[in-house]
Structure 1
Amino acid sequence: MPLSPLPAPSRAAGPTRRGLLGAGAAGAALWGLAACGSSSGSDSAGGKDKGAGGKSTAKSAAQGTRTVDSAKGPITIPAAPKRVVAINDFPMAAMFDLGLTPAGVFDAGEEYVPQRDLAKWRAIPKVSDGVGGAIQVEKVATLRPDLIIGIDAQANLPYSQLSALAPTVLLPFTKSAAPWRDMADQTAAVLGVPAALDKLKQRYTERTAAIKQAHAAVLARTRWDLLQGGFDEGNWWLYGHGSPIGGILGDAGAVFATASQRLAVQQSVSYELITTKLADADAIFYYVTNDGKPANLGPKLFAQPSFQQLAAVKAKHTFGSIYFLPGGYEDALSVLDDFEKALTAL
């Protein structure tokens, strides 16, 4: 999957999955992140990033540490970290999926947090400079983390300063074709519970198969386009079959209309091309905030006369989901729930 040269369509400057997925930052190959040398001893990691090649497995085990791979190389971390700061919302979503609560999180904006996680999210200290701002080392320090987890696509990240506070693991987002899946799996591996997501994985497999079987007739006659309202005036975002949302709907049997079928990941599109791109869609699946409204500049896109004249829009075959840019397995399962509701309505 080629990298997109387009700028990240993020509502703010921060390294959120909404901006990163919109920019097509995910690459083609999964760069495996494996945890090794685990022990059940002390959870103290000594406070600093040990880097590569430092200690043998036996010595690390005796000190209650493990060594994990990261985008920066091998990192020595506590065997059982207890105060984990998630400086990106991919590891945050993974921890929520695991039933864990981070000690601190990046603030990507409350309107993008699913209702199921909202109360928990509100109670967690935020470590960015306001909504979408830079990571503030001082805020992280006050939380006394024993582990920090982020992703390698984060720009202007004060990595050395964070590493001085606690071992800092950056997950290889840029080499991932399905970040919602890969970042969740790799976060679980870093936390020493690689099998903890197995039940969610099984539910996902079962749900996609069940949707294909139960809605075969509707799936066969319906062609879908996928879109996001965008962040630049006069433009919106079209998503393709190879995007994360396209992959999930494809697993459930979705057939894509011409524009989404021809597009590998996603691209920014002018309002002038609304009819050209979306004319043959039978239904449209799009991104909403947690109040159900079209996300970002979606209201302006939906108000365009050319959008209102689309066959799918006139037939009221437009369906929104806050999980359109999934962060983990629970999000992916919720995408499937929203997709099945749409199929039922058709």
Structure 2
Amino acid sequence: MHQPPTPPRPRPLPSGGLSRRGLLGAAAGTAALFGLAACGSGGSSGGSSGGAAASAKSSGAATRLVDSTKGKIRVPDQPKRVVALNDFPMGAMFDLGITPIGVFNAGEQYVAKPYLDRWRPIAKVSDGVGGAIQVEKVAALEPDLILAIDAQSDLPYAQLTKLAPTVVLPFSKSKAPWRDMADATAEVLGVPTALDALKKRYSERTAGIKQQYAEQLARYRWDLLQGGFDEGQWWLYGTGSPIGGILADAGARFATASGRGIVQESVSYELVGSRLADADAIFYYTTNDGQPANLGPKLFAQKSFQRLPAAREHRLFGSVAFLPAGYSEALMALDDFESALKQL
């Protein structure tokens, strides 16, 4: 989903409920963005020994064994009450037409508009926006399955496994989590082929954009950025990032800064002019009202930014799906990219 201005949202705490925006941002300046060390913390190593899983098995309910970073986990064959502790399984569930009974609250302004009406009524299980997972809130929902990712450093795993089978998905090993987490979620929910239509649509959309906008794709080079959460810093994305991969699939060519194989890096305002000087156009992260997310407004207000060729020529294009959580959001990013190409 996208990221640029409006009032800067609170910086997510490094909690069990860390959102994908926080995960991406927290990775800046560390090793590789999607090379975060697996960090499910606390508790046992999982398996199917959790109290809820054991009781489900003993009650005669149909179950399946699924993969988790904690080992094999026994889950209900057809889970009905699923809590998603991160945006990635939440986005995948929306794509699958399944509504979770509880979700982590990353902030309404970061929820893509097509999801808003479904997202608002869902119980929020974090301590406010961007806060820690509240086990009591999860327990009150009586889930039969809990989904998380392994980059949630303070995930109260041992406590959660006492409530329901808790599957931790392997975010840390993924270079395209919007795709891999969606596929993994579908597997855990027992509907591994349910995303096939969206996969086909994605392939058709990228091929169609390449063909229809070949002239613009050949003429303009792009840089990718996010306003970020750190004063005096912004975040640059490269071809190794999910959004870089999506635009590359659609035939985008990149300027020097984003054309490298980086995933993401934090850059000082002082380097705006030198880093982005040869970009013909810029694609950036917005909130769902179309404004630059996080500290994007401060970045865009810098004189050095306003002097950029892309800014002077009004070739700044945003997307709330800049940090996609699933196939639908990847398609939204392509829609926004196509809209930009139409204006060039």
* Equivalent in the alignment of 1:143: 141
Partner of 1:220: 218
How far residue 20 of structure 1 moved from its aligned partner, in angstroms, is 1.4
Q: How big is each residue's C-alpha offset from its partner over 1:234-260, in whole Å with a ceiling of 9 and x where there is no partner?
A: 000000011000000000000000000
* Number of aligned residues: 315
1:176 to 166, 171, 174: 174
2:186 corresponds in structure 1 to: 188
Query: Gapped runs of 5+ residues in structure 2?
Result: 1-8, 37-48
Aligned partners of 1:287 and 1:322 also within 8 Å: yes
Q: Which residue of 1 aligns with 2:52?
A: 48
> Whole-Å Cα distance in 2 between the matches of residues 290 and 11 of structure 1?
18
TM-score (norm 1): 0.88
1:18 counterpart = 2:16: no
Looking at structure 1, the residues matched to 306 and 58 of structure 2 have their Cα atoms a distance apart, in angstroms, of 62
Q: How do 1:237-316 and structure 2 match up within 5 A?
A: 237-316=235-314
Q: Which amino acid aligns with 1:305?
A: K
C-alpha contact (below 8 Å) 2:50/2:162 kept by paired residues? no
Counterpart AA for 1:18: R
RMSD: 2.0
Q: Which residue of 1 aligns with 2:229?
A: 231
| Contact 2:50/2:161, CA 8 A, preserved across alignment | no
SS of structure 1 residue aligned to 2:206: helix
Q: 1:198 aligns with which of 196, 201, 207?
A: 196
Tell me which amino acid in the other structure corresponds to 1:26: F
Q: Distance in 2 between matches of 1:281 and 1:61?
A: 61
Residue 322 of structure 1 corresponds to: 320
Deviation, structure 1 residue 46: 8.4
Name which structure has the greater RCO, CA cutoff 8 Å, separation 6+.
2
In 2: Cα distance, 1:329 partner to 1:61 partner: 36
Does the CA-based 8 Å contact 2:19-2:106 persist in structure 1? Answer: yes
Aligned equivalents of 1:71, 1:25: Cα separation in 2: 19
CA-CA distance at 1:19 after TM superposition: 1.6
Cα distance in 2, alignment partners of residues 25 and 304 from structure 1: 26
Cα distance, 1:60–1:278 mapped onto 2, change above 3 Å: farther
State the AA in 1 paired with 2:23. Answer: L
Look up the SS of the partner of 1:238 in the other structure: strand
Q: 1:110-158 deviations in whole A, cap 9, x for unaligned?
A: 1100111111111000000100010000000000000000101001111
Q: How far off its partner does 1:165 sit?
A: 0.3
Q: Percent identity?
A: 69
How far apart, CA to CA, are the structure 1 residues paired with 2:317 and 2:174?
27
Amino acid at match of 2:18: P
Q: Cα offset for 1:61?
A: 12
CA distance in 1, matches of 2:205, 2:263: 24
Change in 2 beyond 3 A, CA 1:120/1:15: same
Shift of 1:195: 0.1
Aligned twin of 2:35: 27
In 1, are the aligned partners of 2:35 and 2:172 still within 8 Å (CA)? yes
* Contact preservation (8 Å) 1:10, 1:16: no
Unpaired runs of 5+ residues, structure 1, are 1-8, 29-44, 51-58
Contact in 2 for aligned 1:287/1:324 (Cα 8 Å): yes
Pair 200,10 (structure 1): closer, same or farther in 2 beyond 3 Å: farther
| 2:126 is aligned with 1:128 | yes
